[in-house]
């Protein structure tokens, strides 16, 4: 009798765990549309270094310039502009970020999950996924569509085992001397799951 009750409880727990996991994936994948490089018209990278996944850190950026975009065609144009700036002016191999999030909640594949970015400096690039919210969030927050898409993207990274389950979330300013991701947005990021205190110090 006791054994049967125990067995029932274990089945119950297994069922709940399975459902929650399935729901998490479903939520993460259905809440976001990832626009591939081919779809936004990316230039090919000059070279790529493979990421060793899963990574322990997620780093949040804002673009500062350009400011927020609110529809697909405008956001795509901004993403192409950021890639041109990173490749032609900065001299990088590709757009720096792993992903970008538009003000309308569209997520753009930058270097993606599997390629090391140029976003947080040599100590961090190979250990983190860098997500840039397009806009200048010094004095304002990203639109709520962007915030929920960005959070869903992180959840998706954990589900796909590209990001460890106990990852640490930082704002760019915590690892580099920069105001990024903007004062107003940074205050919000400090309230997100997995955020940890850390102050930048010269490394």
Ligand X SMILES: *[C@@H]1O[C@H](CO)[C@@H](O)[C@H](O)[C@H]1NC(C)=O
Q: Contact residues for ligand X (CB under 6 A)?
A: 50, 64-65, 70-71, 73-74, 136, 138-139, 164, 166, 168, 197-199
In this complex, which beta carbon is closest to ligand X, that of residue 30 or of residue 166?
Answer: 166
Q: Where are the beta strands (DSSP E) in 136-183?
A: 163-171
Q: Which C-beta is closer to ligand X: that of 126 or that of 136?
A: 136
CB of 140 to ligand X, least distance (A): 7
Q: How far is the CB of 201 from ligand X (least distance, A)?
A: 9
CB of 38 to ligand X, least distance (A): 16
Integer Cα distance of 180 and 120 in angstroms? 11
Instruction: Report in angstroms how near the CB of residue 78 gets to ligand X at its nearest.
Output: 10
CB-wise, 10 or 39, nearer to ligand X? 39
What is the spatial distance between Cα 37 and Cα 15, in angstroms, rounded to a whole number? 38
CB-nearer residue toward ligand X: 36 or 71: 71
Element (H, E) at 176: none
Nearer to ligand X, 12 or 33 (CB): 33
Beta strands in 111-173 (DSSP E): 128-133, 163-171
Query: Which secondary-structure segment (H or E) carries 37?
Result: helix 37-40
| Residues near 134 by beta carbon (within 8 Å), at least 6 away in sequence | 62, 63, 66, 68, 69, 75, 78, 79, 82, 100, 101, 102, 103, 146
Closest approach of ligand X to the CB of residue 141, in Å: 12
**Joined tokens for residue 112:** 């993606």
């Amino acid at each position: 009798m006791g054994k049967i009750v125990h067995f029932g409880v274990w089945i119950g727990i297994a069922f709940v765990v399975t459902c929650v996991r399935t729901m998490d994936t479903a939520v993460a994948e259905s809440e976001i549309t990832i626009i591939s490089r081919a779809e936004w018209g990316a230039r090919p990278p000059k070279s790529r270094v493979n990421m060793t996944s899963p990574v322990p850190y997620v780093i949040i950026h804002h673009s500062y310039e350009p400011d927020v975009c609110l529809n697909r065609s405008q956001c795509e144009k901004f993403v192409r502009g950021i890639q041109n700036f990173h490749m032609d002016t900065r001299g990088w191999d590709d757009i720096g970020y792993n992903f970008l999030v538009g003000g309308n909640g569209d997520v753009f594949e930058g270097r993606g999950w599997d390629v090391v970015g140029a976003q947080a400096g040599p100590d961090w690039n190979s250990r983190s996924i860098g997500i840039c919210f397009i806009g200048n969030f010094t004095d304002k927050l990203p639109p709520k569509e962007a915030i929920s898409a960005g959070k869903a993207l992180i959840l998706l990274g954990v589900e796909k085992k590209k990001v460890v389950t106990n990852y640490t979330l930082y704002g760019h300013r915590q690892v580099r001397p920069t105001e990024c991701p903007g004062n107003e947005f940074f205050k919000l990021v400090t309230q997100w799951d997995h955020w940890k205190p850390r102050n930048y110090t010269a490394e």
